[in-house]
C-alpha cells in the first residue's frame, strides 16, 4: 500500500511520525528502524505549500504577498513561525585549534582559557 506524504500528514494531524521501514525498490533493499521525517516534511501541508511557493518566488516577500493575497507582516509572521519549527544547523564561531595554541604560546591566554576554547 502506498500513502503519499500529503495523506500521511493529514492523518497525523500534527502528531510526530516515526517511519519504521524504508524500502528502495530499485535496489531491492529494505531498512528497518526508527526514522524521523525530515524537518520540512514535519510541517503542515499548508506550511509546506507556503515554503515551496516562497522558494519558487526566490524569497520575494512582495511576490508571495501577491500570490496569497496577504500583507507583508502576515508573511513575516508566518515565516517566523515556520522557522521556529525547523531545526537549523548552527554555524558556531569556534576558534581554529592552531590559533588557540598560538595565543597560548604567546602568553595571550591562560591554559584554562585555551582548554575552554578548545572544548568549544
pTM above 0.85, yes or no: no
Question: Residue 105 sits in which domain range?
Answer: 94-120
The CATH number assigned to the domain holding 71 equals 1.10.10
Per the prediction, the chain carries an average pLDDT of 84
Dihedral angle computed from the Cα positions of residues 63, 67, 73 and 74, in that order, rounded to the nearest 10 degrees = -150
Q: Are residues 31 and 67 in the same domain?
A: yes
Q: What is the pLDDT of residues 32-63, one digit of tens each?
A: 988 887 888 888 889 999 999 999 999 999 99
Over residues 72-87, the pLDDT tens digits come to: 999 999 999 999 888 6
Do 113 and 55 lie in one domain? The reply is no
> What single DSSP character describes residue 93?
-
Amino acid at each position: 500500500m502506498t500513502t503519499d506524504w500529503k495523506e500521511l500528514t493529514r492523518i497525523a494531524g500534527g502528531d510526530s511520525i516515526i517511519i519504521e521501514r524504508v524500502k528502495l525498490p530499485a535496489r531491492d533493499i529494505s531498512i528497518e528502524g526508527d526514522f524521523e521525517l525530515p524537518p520540512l516534511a514535519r510541517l503542515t501541508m499548508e506550511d509546506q505549500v507556503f515554503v515551496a511557493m516562497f522558494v519558487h518566488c526566490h524569497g520575494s516577500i512582495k511576490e508571495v504577498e501577491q500570490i496569497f493575497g496577504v500583507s507583508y507582516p502576515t508573511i513575516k509572521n508566518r515565516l517566523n513561525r515556520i522557522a521556529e519549527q525547523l531545526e537549523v544547523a548552527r554555524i558556531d564561531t569556534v576558534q581554529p585549534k592552531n590559533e588557540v595554541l598560538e595565543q597560548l604560546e604567546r602568553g595571550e591566554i591562560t591554559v584554562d582559557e585555551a582548554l575552554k576554547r578548545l572544548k568549544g
